[in-house]
Amino acid sequence: MNVDDLQWQLSNLGGVLPRIVDEILERGGLEALVEAAREREDWFCAAGAVQGLCAAGEFGRAWKVVEPFAATGWQPAVRAGADVLLRWGRVDQALDLAHPKEQQENAVDAWRDYAEALVRAGRVEDAIGVLGPYLRGGRVLGALVEMTEGQGCDERVLELLAPIAEEFRRNSEEYGIRDLWDVLPAQARVLERSGHADEAIRLLGTDVAARRYGPQNNVEFYAELLARHGRIEELRDLADTRRYAAVRPYVTALENLGRAGEAEAYLRDLIAAKHPGRHESALMGLLIRQGRFDEAIESVEHTFDDLYDENLLQATMILLADQGQHDKALGLTEGRSPDFLAENEAFWLRSNRWWLMGESGRAQEAIAEIEALPASEVDDRELTIAWLLAQDGRLEEAIARLRALPGKRAATDLAELLIRHGRFTEAIAVIPDVAAQRKEKRRFWTDRTEWQEAAPSDVGYGCDDSWTAPNTAHLE
């Protein structure tokens, strides 16, 4: 088993996609995943098989699936293997597996996982001691807070966090120390859960006022802390500083308190005053949640022909579709300005239109629109038509169309249709294995590099990434 292949799968979502694994598991295809883990050395299939077997109490079989992966020393597999052993009651074996080896790569991650195993084995103090030398690493700070929750050791955790937090407060502008920015919300979180919410609010409020943010600010965490404890006026004061991160929690808090009218008025005032921040998006979402669809569209339609990031057309369409308002969403695909359509926007707009039509029972009409256009004007034409055929209930036609198409994406779409028929082993088999996927990806980047080198210097490379691809990823 090749560790490089395993890491490539994790980094590139290679092999069988997690969502495909989840669907196979949900539909009763556990044994197909067990087989794929053994025969294809597919990590996501193995992880899904382990999940299903543990849920059924078959810990011995789960260990048999994950053991060859864990034997490579690859940390995600070691972590999964230790989890299986702990659930099986083989504590000593789990701790032996999880214990970091000498000169191990990713040592910090390994010690963090070992500490987690110690906590689950009931050795919380040992776990805290293991993490002590690594607490200046952000991932370890967060892990310490997570794994000690409910373990009755908050005072000990606070003792460890306090000096690091004070060091950050004294020297937050220094290079290197900025990596510790998340010690401030970590400290506040432990104070809050240990019954010292007022102290958490006081400390973090002072930090926010002093702009002790590091590379990422803590305003949103502080705002949500205020909201959880009913400090609405203080939250309003924070939002009034025009810090965008505090506006959303304030609006959400008002809405949760049944004061949606106040939230709406607040957002409209911000928009009218032209304060920075995408408050139109928050207002649109608020109105849609209240079922005021026409008003929601009206509140943001001035952005719909904008060629820049402020365009809320697609976001509005998606939120309307989530509420079953497909006809209203479809209406927004029409009447766009010629300038907007000339900037490649027509491609993603059409693909979203066909997605909406497929979701709303108008798949045949969408197929007719596609077939009436020149093939060069429809990206992923065959994949889109296959998805629409499936939406129209013509599954065998969709399957036949997809079988003729090359590449992982077509194979994945085909697999989803086969899963519907309970053909789990066949569904996995049509997806290229890791070696084939790696070869396909290398070929893609080689072809792309050669094209760029041969293209005129004034060609705008990257234009193929500037629009949204057709929504055919989920053949549901």
Q: 212 in a domain, yes or no?
A: no
In the DSSP assignment, the letter for residue 455 is S
Residue 470 pLDDT grade (very low, low, confident, very high; cuts 50, 70, 90):
very low
Question: Could you give the percent of the chain with pLDDT greater than 90?
Answer: 73
Q: Give the pTM.
A: 0.85
Mean pLDDT score, 261-289: 91
Lowest mean pLDDT among 192-196, 276-280, 456-460: 456-460
Task: Please say if the pLDDT value at position 276 is more than 70.
Answer: no
- Give pLDDT, residue 33: 98
Helix axes 183-193, 197-209, angle to 10 degrees: 160
Place of tokens 């025009």: 242
What pLDDT, in 10s, does the model give residues 70-105?
Answer: 999 999 999 999 999 999 999 999 999 999 987 767
Q: 341 in a domain, yes or no?
A: yes
Alpha-carbon separation of residue 473 from 209, 316, 379 (angstroms): 45, 20, 14
For every residue of 19-68, DSSP letters joined together read HHHHHHHHTT-HHHHHHHHHHH--HHHHHHHHHHHHHTT-HHHHHHHHHH
Q: 216 in a domain, yes or no?
A: no
- Give pLDDT, residue 306: 84
- Give pLDDT, residue 187: 96
Alpha-carbon separation of residue 62 from 2, 48, 349 (angstroms): 20, 10, 46
- Give pLDDT, residue 102: 76
Question: Could you give the percent of the chain with pLDDT greater than 70?
Answer: 91
Mean pLDDT score, 214-242: 89
More confident residue, 472 or 453: 453
Task: Please say if the pLDDT value at position 471 is more than 50.
Answer: no
Lowest mean pLDDT among 92-106, 377-391, 412-426, 449-463: 449-463
Q: 133 in a domain, yes or no?
A: no
What CATH number is given to the structural domain containing 384? 1.25.40
- Give pLDDT, residue 274: 82
Mean of all residue pLDDT scores within the chain: 89
Contact present, 340 and 305 (Cβ < 8 Å): yes
Task: Please say if the pLDDT value at position 434 is more than 70.
Answer: yes
Mean pLDDT score, 435-443: 89
Whole-number Å distance between alpha carbons of 170 and 183: 13
What range does the domain containing 367 cover? 337-447+463-476
Task: Please say if the pLDDT value at position 298 is more than 90.
Answer: yes
Task: Please say if the pLDDT value at position 338 is more than 80.
Answer: yes
Task: Please say if the pLDDT value at position 6 is more than 70.
Answer: yes
- Give pLDDT, residue 456: 54
Mean pLDDT score, 3-14: 95
Residue 450 pLDDT grade (very low, low, confident, very high; cuts 50, 70, 90):
low
More confident residue, 292 or 340: 292
Task: Please say if the pLDDT value at position 392 is more than 80.
Answer: yes
Task: Please say if the pLDDT value at position 219 is more than 70.
Answer: yes
Mean pLDDT score, 11-32: 97
Whole-number Å distance between alpha carbons of 467 and 339: 15
Q: 87 in a domain, yes or no?
A: no
Lowest mean pLDDT among 213-222, 227-236, 395-404: 213-222
Lowest mean pLDDT among 106-115, 208-217, 286-295: 208-217
Task: Please say if the pLDDT value at position 3 is more than 60.
Answer: yes
Residue 469 pLDDT grade (very low, low, confident, very high; cuts 50, 70, 90):
very low
- Give pLDDT, residue 466: 27
Q: 471 in a domain, yes or no?
A: yes
Alpha-carbon separation of residue 419 from 146, 148, 371, 394, 470 (angstroms): 37, 40, 28, 15, 22
Q: 26 in a domain, yes or no?
A: no
What pLDDT, in 10s, does the model give residues 98-147?
Answer: 999 877 677 889 999 999 999 999 999 999 999 998 998 767 998 999 99
Tally of domains in the chain = 1
Mean pLDDT score, 354-368: 96
More confident residue, 379 or 383: 383
Whole-number Å distance between alpha carbons of 332 and 316: 9
Q: 353 in a domain, yes or no?
A: yes
Ramachandran bin of 73, using left for φ above 0, alpha for ψ from -120 to 50, beta for the remaining angles: left
- Give pLDDT, residue 106: 74
